């Protein structure tokens, strides 16, 4: 049950907030993008890379079965419900888990919510060509709360919402034109995102040798982003990992080992182990230097909802 339009519509990054009566503004949720597909009592939760995460979140599957629609496809963000320092990082223990007992325990300790912000089909009919304002009205009738929640928005006042985002520690805000249609997999001009702090996805291209307490895993990840089809080096990330994450990540990276550096840059690091650029990590950092290198980067977790080739340096 994988519909052709599984690739979600994307946002264009802009560097500052704005006010416009023709736009709405929403909180940018710190989680994982999910396309929720319901067909009668069958429910699937697909990431941007079309990985089915229904098994990891059975409570959302059960909630979706109770939606007031025989069949529906929703776009939204799956995120930890309670306030934590990094909601994305708190979500990581659930993403790969398959043990039902552990999943049930995590659901109690770290509950999640699906924040629905768009609707693609309703009872077998595509609504993607309707203007956003009309789609929002349909969505609001279906996502009434609980585990599947309608994401509220404000009309026109992007600057005020961005100020609130900065004060509250949100990831940022998203702006959308009221008359915008839904274009799967496209980065149209009708959707924009404005970040309140520096955090983005980066591709892992290798890792350095570990010493002391981390001798059995690695020292730091070597990360980068794509520019004109080439992987550009963006620096090393050596903090933010739990001990378990270090061991799990080392095992995954060992399977991707390669003899040559994937970076276009001439990196003379004889102690590095290069890997094929398949893994995408979420990284927070203070700023980009003039040489386009991360300053004070911290690892938050792996992403499986974005292909590595789509990772670019954002504003």
Query: Which residues are part of the catalytic machinery?
Result: 28
Q: Give the 3-state secondary structure of residue 183.
A: coil
Separation CA 97–CA 164 (nearest Å): 34
Residue position matching structure tokens 């264009």: 12
Instruction: Enter the DSSP assignment of 265.
Output: S
Nearest to 45 by CA among 95, 104, 110, 100: 95
What is the β-pairing status of strands 272-275 and 257-258? antiparallel
165: left (phi over 0), alpha (psi -120 to 50) or beta: alpha
C-alpha to C-alpha distance for 76 and 188, rounded to whole angstroms:
17
- Is the sign of the CA dihedral 97, 100, 102, 107 positive or negative? positive
Instruction: Tell me how far apart the alpha carbons of residues 148 and 116 are, in angstroms, rounded to a whole number.
Output: 7
Q: Give the CA radius of gyration of the chain.
A: 20
């Amino acid at each position: 049950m994988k519909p052709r339009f599984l690739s979600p519509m994307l946002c264009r990054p802009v560097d500052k907030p704005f006010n416009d009566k023709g736009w709405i503004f929403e909180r940018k949720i710190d989680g994982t993008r999910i396309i929720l597909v319901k067909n009668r009592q069958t429910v699937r939760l697909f990431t941007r890379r079309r990985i089915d995460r229904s098994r990891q979140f059975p409570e959302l599957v059960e909630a979706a079965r109770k939606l007031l629609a025989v069949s529906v496809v929703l776009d939204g963000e799956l995120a930890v419900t309670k306030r934590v320092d990094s909601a994305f990082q708190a979500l990581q223990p659930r993403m790969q888990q398959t043990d039902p007992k552990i999943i049930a325990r995590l659901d109690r300790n770290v509950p999640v919510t699906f924040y629905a912000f768009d609707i693609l089909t309703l009872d077998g009919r595509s609504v993607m060509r309707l203007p956003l304002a009309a789609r929002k009205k349909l969505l609001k009738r279906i996502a009434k709360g609980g585990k599947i929640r309608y994401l509220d928005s404000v009309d026109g006042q992007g600057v005020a919402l961005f100020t609130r985002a900065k004060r509250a520690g949100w990831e940022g805000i998203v702006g959308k034109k009221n008359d915008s249609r839904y274009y799967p997999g496209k980065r149209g001009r009708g959707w924009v995102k404005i970040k309140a702090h520096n955090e983005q996805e980066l591709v892992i291209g290798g890792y350095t040798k570990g010493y002391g307490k981390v001798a059995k895993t690695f020292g730091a990840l070597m990360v980068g982003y794509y520019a004109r089809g080439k992987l550009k080096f963006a620096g090393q990330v050596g903090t933010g990992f739990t001990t378990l994450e270090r061991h799990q990540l080392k095992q995954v990276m060992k399977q991707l080992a390669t003899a040559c550096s994937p970076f276009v840059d001439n990196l003379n690091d004889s102690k590095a182990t290069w890997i094929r650029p398949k893994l995408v990590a979420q990284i927070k950092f203070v700023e980009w230097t003039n040489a386009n290198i991360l300053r004070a980067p911290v690892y938050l977790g792996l992403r499986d909802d974005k292909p590595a080739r789509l990772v670019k340096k954002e504003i």
